[in-house]
Amino acid sequence: MGSIDTKGFVALGLVATALASTSAWAEVDAKSLCRETALLYAHYADTNQQAKFNALFTKDGTLATSAGSRKPAQIAVDPARPAFTSKHVATNHIVHDQDGVLTGTSYFTYYTSPESKDGPLPITGQPAAVGVYHDKYVIDGGVCKFTERMAKVTFAGE
């Protein structure tokens, strides 16, 4: 039998610790799932994939923004929105699991233009908003969904 060097011993110890604590793996997995949900929110909003966007929320999940509060999953068909371009830049996704209650925060910068076209758009007066999302999540069928997403604008464009 071969010998194990210090790195191998540490690696075996980490694996043994991880295997001994399956709840730690579940917590890491839940956090990863919820970070993915936060990223998909921006992607689906910016690419106008409304059905996929709505599915990120539980049936009673609430989205609160400066435009008001709504329950995206309860809207059978959102009215067609006028063509425009938006880009969400979201960073610093932090997800907490406190005794099975999943919450999170992330920061956003939101750019928008009333135009919709291929190619660069003017950036005059941008960004439209900068702020923080405060989230509450639940794992439903192996998928992380928002039960609440509150956007708090810190800076707003003119």
Q: Which residue in this structure is represented by tokens 């106008």?
A: 48
End-to-end CA distance of the chain: 71
Q: Which residue in this structure is represented by tokens 């998928």?
A: 143
| Angle (nearest 5°) at CA 146 between 144 and 151 | 135
pLDDT tens, N- to C-terminus, the chain (158 residues) = 455 555 544 444 444 455 444 555 455 589 999 999 999 999 999 988 989 999 999 999 999 998 889 999 886 655 666 677 888 999 999 999 998 899 999 999 998 888 877 778 878 777 889 999 999 999 988 999 999 999 999 998 77
pTM value surpassing 0.95: no
Q: Which domains does the chain have, with CATH numbers?
A: 6-156 (3.10.450.50)
CA atoms within 13 A on the CB side of 149: 29
